Amino acid sequence: MAFALRRLLLALPVLLGVVTAVFLLLHLVPGDPVEVMLGDGAAPADRLALRAALHLEDPLAVQYGRYLGNVLRGDLGESIRLHRPVAGVIGDHLPATCELLAGGLGVALLIALPSGIVAALRAGRRADTVLRWLAVAGVAMPNFWLGPLLVLGFAIGLGWLPVSGRGGIDHLILPSITLGSGMAGILMRMTRAGWLEALTADWVRTARAKGVGEAAVILKHTGRNAALPLITVVGLQTGALLGGAVITETIFAWPGVGRLTLTAIEARDYPLVQGAVLFMAVAYVAVNLAVDLLYGVLDPRTRGGGR
């Protein structure tokens, strides 16, 4: 309990820094939200009235205090373009993003875990070399290149899968592969390293000397210890998937928070941009906090305060 409380307390300054950075970033970029709402031909009196209604004439410190108080109450403001609460707009697009993240993570794990274990068991052999080169290729391929390539091959060329949009499982396949391929390469290398280290441990040699089957040695005796560093990387990469989702959702016209963010930026919808960026940043912090807590459960040695 003390470990969990300590991690939660350490996350609070990070969250405050995120809120502050999002506020300052959106207020320092060029552009006037009043012009976006009223258009270039609006009368000066109307512009002044709207700026007063939005409190844009207040000092930056006053605006920040008001924004921080609203965030603590769960009020992210109202979208300039959609005239709806920002929290509600993000909530409408959140299921699509969660579905895509789950698909990308699933693809990454399905590729990385078996290939990483095989590479560890065949360390130094041809299979290990081929799998490591494939992992490097997966990391090196950017989403904005791989996504259109998959569309050209499997959607337009072969006609097997839909080009874009959200629908059934078939709509999820190409975006998930696009999003998860880079993460698969990273996780595969971590899986290989973790299993290689665990397979040389004393308890593994003891288990083999006792006649324990190879399958039990690989999955039971090495799995828990090899998975610890992998869990950390999965947590970090899951947060990174949020950034990759912005590109992937745009390529495949996926109606998630990432595509919503780009649309809000193009429209200079400052409250919606603030809310979407804040959501992604807080989600990143939350995922890493969850990984910290899970790591403490799986490895009690990390609860002593050193980590």
Would you say residue 4 has pLDDT above 70?
Answer: no
Q: What does the pLDDT read at residue 306?
A: 45
Q: What does the pLDDT read at residue 120?
A: 81
| Residue 131 tokens, joined | 């799998």
Q: What does the pLDDT read at residue 32?
A: 64
Residues 6+ apart with CB under 8 A from 137: 185
pLDDT tens by residue, 142-198: 888 888 888 888 888 888 888 888 888 888 899 999 888 888 888 888 888 877 777
In a domain, 90, yes or no: yes
pLDDT tens by residue, 231-268: 777 777 777 777 778 888 888 888 888 888 888 887 77
What is the extent of the structural domain holding 179? 86-304
Q: What does the pLDDT read at residue 95?
A: 92
Nearest alpha-carbon partner for 92 in 303, 260, 271, 266: 260
Q: Residue 176 is part of a domain; what is its CATH number? A: 1.10.3720.10
In a domain, 27, yes or no: no
In a domain, 291, yes or no: yes
Concatenating the DSSP letter of every residue in 198-263 gives HHTSHHHHHHHHTT--HHHIIIIITHHHHHHHHHHHHHHHHHHHHHHHHHHHHHTT--SHHHHHHH
Look at residue 39 and give its three-state secondary structure. coil
In a domain, 233, yes or no: yes
In a domain, 65, yes or no: no
pLDDT tens by residue, 32-63: 666 666 666 677 777 777 777 667 777 878 88
| Residue 219 tokens, joined | 């999955």
pLDDT tens by residue, 72-122: 888 888 887 788 888 899 999 999 988 998 898 898 889 888 888 888 888
Would you say residue 226 has pLDDT above 80?
Answer: no
In a domain, 265, yes or no: yes
With contact defined as beta carbons under 8 Å apart, do 256 and 93 qualify? Answer: yes
Q: What does the pLDDT read at residue 39?
A: 64
How many domains does the structure of the chain reveal? 1
Q: What does the pLDDT read at residue 31?
A: 62
What would the mean pLDDT of 202-226 be, rounded to a whole number?
64
In a domain, 48, yes or no: no
In a domain, 14, yes or no: no
- Cα atoms in the 13 Å half-sphere on the side-chain side of 168: 3
